[in-house]
A and B are shown apart, each in its own frame.
Chain A
Amino acid sequence: MTDLTQNPASAPGQVPPRHGSLLTQGARTKRRNAAEKRFQLYGMIAIGIGLLMLVILVTTIVSRGIGAYQQTFVTLNVELLESKLDKNGNRDLEEIKKVSTFGYAPLVKTALADAVAGYGIDTSVPTKDMDDLLSKGAVAQLRDYVIENPDQIGQTVSFEFLASSRVDGYLKGRVSRESIANDKSISAEQLDLVDELIEQGAIRKQFNLSFITGADASDQRPEAAGMGVSMVGSLFMMLVVLVLSLPIGVAASIYLEEFARKSWLTDVIEVNISNLAAVPSIVFGILGLAVFINYMHLPMSAPLVGGLVLTLMTLPTIIISTRASLKAVPPSIRDAALGVGASKMQAVFHHVLPLAAPGILTGTIIGLAQALGETAPLLLIGMVGFIASNAPDSIASGLLAPNSAMPAQIYEWAKRADPAFYERAWGGIIILLVFLVTMNTVAVILRRRFERRW
């Protein structure tokens, strides 16, 4: 019995494993397995870090940018005094237009003071400082309304004015009584008044569509700034890029891949295309500045020039991906077509190109997405035009009028002093990312759907 306890391997039914048995692992096998496990662990750690970074990125962007989609509005009943707006009382539009925004300012102040009094709020803020609560654009909004509806003069109309960026920041937690200690734009008393008005429901946050559709605004009015116009600018540029780079890129790739005889010249071209894809975008920017603006005298800040520069940048991407997808079409398809007497061009256009199309489209979309997010070359050619006009005018301005682009607009906002613009920069990044993710998703779907297996 003692024997058995000392050496359990020799117990009945437990035959000691013989040398070379498959049931035990040799030292080498153990080392190999350990190495494999270690490698898998490294891989999982790497993926984990990547995912963590992605989560941090997305949460940061969303948490900082989401504020831009909410805006604080002040609801006011404004009496459109005939004595101020149309002294002669004949509703002549030309005369009404002569009243500048300064003429409207007292109306707004009075309306605010009346509202405060109406709610029974006791405040030490003098009437002349009341309009610090409102955006500087409020009077312009009022004037636009009157010019549009002259028949409303003399009536009392309810308006929703944008609150000033300080009030907006106070509601979003960006501005506090401590932070405004040295701020001339707003005082603690005014914030007390804001608190009262919030309680009365006259000031509240709501969804801000004009951030998505609106135009940029001056340094004084961050609350009114929007991405809309720069989106139009980006759209125009993408049109130029698509119209130029797709046909040029595809034609160049087809020629190089299917027709050109291999020689030192095609090798040189091939190497150079690969190199061009790696050239920093700012180089294309300064090239565009020198060639398109200084030499060809195209207008600065125009989407056409931006599009041309981005086309130069996108072409290598499109050519490389198109050539790769042409290469991926099996040569037997070309042989089959040539074998029944198709010409080379028929073989390419009837058989090779349709099979390569999903790959070409994917490459094009990814190239466009790259171009959409490109900032540096746009700064060099001045694609940071300040356009304060809204949708119909900005779209009508076309390819040669100055415009901005989404990434340039974001850069512009991030540069400005007012922290309210910082929030808008993050908000703009959300829009840009939504575009990029959408484009890449479309590319993936196209590839999945039209991918063919042989």
Chain B
Amino acid sequence: MNQMTSVEKTVSTEANKITAEGVQVYYGDTHAIKDVNVQIEDKTVTAFIGPSGCGKSTFLRCLNRMNDTIDICRVEGQILLDGENIYDRKVDPVQLRAKVGMVFQKPNPFPKSIYDNVAYGPRIHGLARNKAELDEIVEKALRRGAIWNEVKDRLHAPGTGLSGGQQQRLCIARAVATEPEVLLMDEPCSALDPIATAQVEELIDELRQNYSVVIVTHSMQQAARVSQKTAFFHLGNLVEFGETGQIFTNPTDPRTESYITGRIG
């Protein structure tokens, strides 16, 4: 595995969106992430899989510094976004999060109208100069979130009134409205029914055209369906990282094999 990643590093640094080097995360005294090195490519879906509590969500939250909000959390090592260390002291996490959007496990629309949900990000970042531009951004985001047709007639209805799957797609639309470069998704389908899951997965595949997508998932089938690259985490270690096809058919590490075949997890 190490061989393979090091080869990639030398070959295609251009395509690497995010490079994590020696990342350690501590929650108080707990060592949650142990020395993780990973390269996330642009315009690719990368899936993080692993048993519960293995640190995949923690690592995902490191990528846009959402862990900053947890007092006892401490991050070491460096994570480079386009070659810049996001943990550099000069980096403002707010600016970073505009570039690295996030979709959460539970759909969490603001208790406001659908329009305001999507318009909020562009508004605070000053992306629109006037109402017409804002309308345009909102429509574009909702179209990318594959929910425009369902909500175009009720943009001013509350976002919390939508169904779970619609809410999650609204949250994706909200995340893409600020024109991020990377989209982080933390188990985006775990609260959704199979039909809504299928819609969101389809959407993720479309989003790959424009963004680098990192998705944390419990479902190995989902990882196999939507991702091109897969990283397997176990007990805070990045056990194996590679092409999705290769991980699922021919894992090199015995732990990956045990997890995929259902013996640990």
* A351 at interface, CB cutoff 8 A: yes
* A261 at interface, CB cutoff 8 A: yes
* A341 at interface, CB cutoff 8 A: yes
Q: How far is the CA of A355 from the CA of B125 in the complex (A)?
A: 22
Shortest Cβ distance from A341 into B: residue? B98
* B237 at interface, CB cutoff 8 A: no
- B104 to A332, Cβ gap below 8 A? yes
Q: How far is the CA of A95 from the CA of B135 in the complex (A)?
A: 79
* B109 at interface, CB cutoff 8 A: yes
5 A-B contacts (beta carbon < 8 Å): A333-B111, A338-B97, A340-B101, A341-B125, A350-B120
- B104 to A341, Cβ gap below 8 A? no
- A339 to B104, Cβ gap below 8 A? yes
Q: A64 to chain B: closest CB distance in Å?
A: 49
* Contact residues in B for A346 (Cβ distance below 8 Å): 124
- Total cross-chain contacts (CB, 8 A): 67
Given A262-B71, A341-B97 in contact, is the A355-B111 Cβ separation under 8 Å? yes
Interface pick from B39-47, B170-178, B198-206, B242-250: B170-178
Chain B residues 52 to 102 lying within 8 A of chain A, measured CB to CB, are: 64, 66, 69, 71, 94-95, 97-98, 101-102
Given A341-B97, A342-B94, A346-B124 in contact, is the A351-B110 Cβ separation under 8 Å? yes
Given A350-B120, A351-B110 in contact, is the A340-B174 Cβ separation under 8 Å? yes
* Contact residues in A for B97 (Cβ distance below 8 Å): 338-341
- B71 to A332, Cβ gap below 8 A? no
Shortest Cβ distance from A346 into B: residue? B124
Q: A386 to chain B: closest CB distance in Å?
A: 53
* B258 at interface, CB cutoff 8 A: no
* Contact residues in A for B208 (Cβ distance below 8 Å): none
- A336 to B171, Cβ gap below 8 A? yes
Q: B164 to chain A: closest CB distance in Å?
A: 13
* A343 at interface, CB cutoff 8 A: yes
Q: A338 to chain B: closest CB distance in Å?
A: 6
Shortest Cβ distance from A329 into B: residue? B111
* Contact residues in B for A338 (Cβ distance below 8 Å): 66, 69, 97
Q: A348 to chain B: closest CB distance in Å?
A: 12
Chain A residues 333 to 390 lying within 8 A of chain B, measured CB to CB, are: 333-344, 346, 350-351, 355
Q: A429 to chain B: closest CB distance in Å?
A: 42
> Which one, A262, A337, A344, contacts B110 given CB within 8 A?
A337
Q: How far is the CA of A262 from the CA of B120 in the complex (A)?
A: 30
> Which one, B95, B106, B160, contacts A341 given CB within 8 A?
B95
Given A340-B101, A341-B97 in contact, is the A335-B66 Cβ separation under 8 Å? yes
Q: A335-B69, A340-B178 are in contact. List 19 more A-B contacts (CB 8 A).
A: A262-B71, A332-B108, A333-B108, A335-B108, A336-B104, A336-B109, A336-B174, A337-B120, A338-B66, A338-B97, A339-B102, A339-B103, A340-B97, A341-B95, A341-B98, A341-B101, A341-B124, A342-B124, A350-B120
* B22 at interface, CB cutoff 8 A: no
- B111 to A454, Cβ gap below 8 A? yes
Chain B residues 97 to 151 lying within 8 A of chain A, measured CB to CB, are: 97-98, 101-104, 106, 108-111, 120-121, 124-125
Shortest Cβ distance from B117 into A: residue? A336
- B104 to A335, Cβ gap below 8 A? yes
* Contact residues in B for A337 (Cβ distance below 8 Å): 110, 120
* Contact residues in A for B102 (Cβ distance below 8 Å): 335, 339
Shortest Cβ distance from B111 into A: residue? A452
- A334 to B69, Cβ gap below 8 A? yes
